[in-house]
Amino acid sequence: MDCSKTACKFREAEKLYIQIVQDENEYSIEIDKGENLLRGMQRHDIFVKAPCGGTGVCGKCKVQIKEGNIPAAAEDQLYFSQDELEKGYRLACQAYPTENCSVFIEAANEDQFRIVSDYSGKPMEKNSWIQSFRIAIVPSDFQKNKSLVTLFNEKLGGDYTYSKRSLMKLVHLMDQKQSIPNTVRDGHKTVIECILEEQCIIDIFIDEEATAYGIAIDIGTTTIAMQMIELISGEVLGNHSLLNRQRGYGEDVISRIQYSNEGNLDKLSKCIQEDILKGIYDLCQTTSVNLERIVKIAIVGNTTMLHLLLGLSCTSLAVHPFQSITTALHEFHFSEIFGQLSLECKVIILPGVSTYVGADIIAGMLYCGFHEEKETTLLIDIGTNGEMAIGNKDKILSLSTAAGPALEGGNIQYGTGSIRGAISRVEIDKDKLSYRTIGDLPPIGICGSGVIDIVASCCKNGIIDETGRFSECYEDGVVEVARTVEDQAIVFTQKDVREVQLAKSALRSGIEILMQRMEIVPEEIERVYIAGGFGGGVNIDSAITIGLIPKELKDKIVSVGNSALGGAAAYLINRKNRDRIEEILKKTSYIELSTDMHFQDLFVNNMFFYGVGNGEST
């Protein structure tokens, strides 16, 4: 008898064999009959872009069936032309093979993804965790009936503990004692440099310059950014960035949580751990830093990303009361997280406020100086989860809004990330539309800044009304923006407008809630920090035109880049910042919006585009 319960662990499903061609690679995988192509490929670690997590609403998991027959689903009819359907194009998440087949996946074209891995703002005060002390060793030191630890502590003038790394250096010193000069008459002596953190000698250098390195890491939902820092001097040596491979399992944190809760926690955890390991090795290579010299790593990210990194269950993150396992500061040995001993160093996970205001926002507030601001300051980190905070050195309020990925090009029919060829600027002057792409290359899709420009231009020119509906001149509900080199139209649809309305309303309503709870008006805000890639790429005039940001804040906006990475770096560079983070946490309150009826009212009101036809906004 054929059992329909495909999720049953006791069920032995019929197997199908799928031949896959992706870029220059070929794979042969086995999937269960009744399993869709997307899930089957994900199980075999084959990446296919799926911003919606495989629910069929984004239309991005495009594949082409070369051999075999997979009937077109209703969702396929929405995203492919009749010609494309006849050529075998399908959504992988809706494709359920009933026979062996051959599948072609187009190149992801994400190797040139523009990732914000730098920050700009106030110069950071340096006060290193690491201190360096020099002592001299002579042959007579080895004639004493004392351990080397006791000998070193006497010369250093303190009672210090020693790391395993430093003890192994003492073993090396003992083995090499015969090479130490028998006399110091000519002034020659063996100079030992000890690296100290708090009361622990963490490394020892014999006749060589002492160095100690730290790495700051920001785990974003889409990207990972990291920075190498020489801890004694505080000098930044270089940056590195890469894409978070977890994005193949969903663009936003909710999709990741759902996928994790379906029994895939270990897969997502391993995925981010491997990405970070690769990033560390690549960063060491580009900065010419020996892995053995890394002594500290500071990691920030939203609470979900940190749970996945640590392999912690995400079950409670998506259901009321949205309780996390932890948002506290934690310190681990490298091997406890990454399961290997390639680095002998500490890993510090910085703290967050709540399940949806994580360590990335706390780090951003540290970098922007909330702990010392007398005037009211607003920080907005616009991503798939719109996190923001308002306050000063006395009081801070924070919240998170479910903005979704539309403002980063997600859930937009022809949306894409900030890659070369993405349409990043759009202007409509009467009936003439002009655009610009990243790298001035032929257009391949529309990234977040281009999406906002399109909607703003449509508002200014009366192409859409205040409800977001296209005018009668656009009966088919699309605006053609450009054409690809294959002469395929890149269009912006009515559904795309609705996605932008949802995102901009969530963010604008969050800003208004913060101001109301702080009992201030926009004019009383001294400065607005916009963090992330959005701040550096978006046309602020367009953001104000669509009502994303109050127009009164226009001249107060400062783009700070990756403030989360800046905060992680600040933690490594200045030991006082641990206390400052605790100070920020004590003064920060979290506003839960899911049960806030006033937020719901604001959300409905802010869905509208006010001032349509004249470029004005509220």
> Minimal CA–CA distance to 602: which of 474, 508, 538, 477?
508
Q: Residue 563 has what pLDDT?
A: 93
- β-pairing, 130-137 vs 330-333, is unpaired
Please report the pLDDT score of residue 532 as a whole number: 77
Residue 79 falls in which region: left (phi positive, over 0), alpha (psi -120 to 50) or beta:
alpha
Question: What SS3 state is found at 564?
Answer: helix
Determine the average pLDDT of the residues in 344-363.
95
Q: What pLDDT, on the 0 to 100 scale, is given for residue 114?
A: 58
Residues 393 and 410 occupy one common structural domain: no
Alpha carbons within 13 angstroms on the beta-carbon side of residue 46 total: 27
Residue 117 belongs to some domain of the structure:
no
* Residue 237 Cα to chain centre, angstroms: 21
Same domain? For 478 and 531 the reply is no
* Whether residue 553 sits in one domain with residue 491: no
Give the domain CATH number at 298.
3.30.420.480
295 and 312 housed in the same domain? yes
- Whether residue 115 is contained in a domain is answered as no
Distances (CA, A) of 61 to 76, 91, 228: 11, 5, 35
CB 156 within 8 A of CB 602: no
Residue 106, CB half-sphere, CA atoms under 13 Å: how many? 13
* pLDDT of 535 over the 70 cut: no
In a domain, 417, yes or no: yes
**In a domain? residue 354:** no
6 pLDDT higher than 70: no
Q: Which amino acid is at 341?
A: L
Q: How confident is the model at residue 533 (pLDDT cuts 50, 70, 90)?
A: low
Rounding to the nearest 10 degrees, give the CA dihedral for residues 389, 393, 395, 401.
0
Query: Is the separation of the CB atoms in 599 and 593 below 8 Å?
Result: yes
Position with higher pLDDT, 577 vs 142: 577
Report yes or no on 227 lying in a domain: no
Average pLDDT score over residue span 1-30:
72
Boundary-marking domain end, from 105, 139, 160: 105
Please tell me the predicted confidence (pLDDT) of residue 165: 87
Is the pLDDT at 608 greater than 50? The verdict is yes
DSSP lists the bridge partners of residue 426 as: 435
Residue 188 — very low, low, confident or very high, per pLDDT cuts 50/70/90? low
Number of domains composing the chain: 5
Q: What is the pLDDT of residue 494?
A: 93
Mean pLDDT of 89-108: 88
- How far apart, in whole angstroms, are the C-alpha atoms of residue 284 and residue 320? 42
Would you say residue 585 has pLDDT above 60?
yes
pLDDT, greater one: 183 or 569: 569
Q: 254-306 pLDDT, tens per residue?
A: 889 999 999 999 999 999 999 999 999 999 999 999 998 999 999 999 999 99
Residues 332 and 380 placed together within one structural domain of the fold: no
For residue 536, what pLDDT is reported? Answer: 60
Boundary residue ending a domain (495, 526, 551)? 495
> What is the model's pLDDT at position 115?
62
416 and 393 housed in the same domain: no
Q: 33-43 pLDDT, tens per residue?
A: 889 999 888 88
Identify the pLDDT of residue 185: 36
Place of tokens 């349409």: 423
Q: What is the widest separation between alpha-carbon atoms in the chain?
A: 97
Say if residue 437 is in the same domain as residue 486: yes
Enter the tokens of residue 179. 């090479």
Task: Give 227's strand partners.
Answer: 216, 239
Q: How far is CA 593 from CA 351, 387, 401, in A?
A: 21, 12, 8
The answer to whether residue 231 is domain-embedded is no
**Residues pairing with 228 in the sheet:** 215, 238
Based on the domain organization, do 487 and 598 belong to the same domain?
no
112 in a domain, yes or no?
no
Question: Which domain covers residue 451, as residue numbers?
Answer: 406-495
**Do residues 345 and 255 share a domain?**
yes
The CATH number assigned to the domain holding 61 equals: 3.10.20.30
Residue 402 pLDDT greater than 90, yes or no: no
First and final CA of the chain: distance in angstroms?
63
pLDDT surpasses 60 at 4: no
Residue 55, pLDDT > 90, answer no
Query: What is the structure's pLDDT at 290?
Result: 92
Among 69-73, 357-361, 380-384, name the one with the lowest average pLDDT.
380-384
DSSP lists the bridge partners of residue 217 as 226, 299
**Distance of alpha carbon 487 from alpha carbon 127, whole angstroms:** 58
Rounded mean pLDDT of 518-543? 87
Q: Based on the fold, state whether residues 413 and 395 are members of the same structural domain.
A: no
Q: What is the CATH number of the domain that holds 367?
A: 3.30.420.40
What's the DSSP call for residue 473? G
pLDDT at 534: 64
Answer whether residue 206 shows pLDDT above 70.
yes
Of 73-82, 200-209, 347-356, the range with the highest mean pLDDT is: 347-356
For residue 452, pLDDT beyond 60:
yes
β-bridge mates for residue 301, sequence order = 219
- Nearest CA among 127, 165, 162, 129 for reference residue 148: 162
pLDDT given for residue 1 in this prediction: 43
**Which pLDDT score is estimated for 183?**
44
pLDDT for position 474: 75
The pLDDT value recorded for residue 315 is 94
Confidence check: pLDDT of 5 > 80 = no
Residue 576 included in any domain: yes
Query: Which helix or strand (DSSP H or E) is residue 582 part of?
Result: helix 577-587
> Does residue 511 sit in the same domain as residue 398?
yes
Asked whether residue 571 carries a pLDDT value surpassing 90, the answer given is yes
Are 391 and 271 in the same domain? no
Looking at 48, 70, 105, which one is the last position of a domain? Answer: 105
pLDDT of 543 reads 93
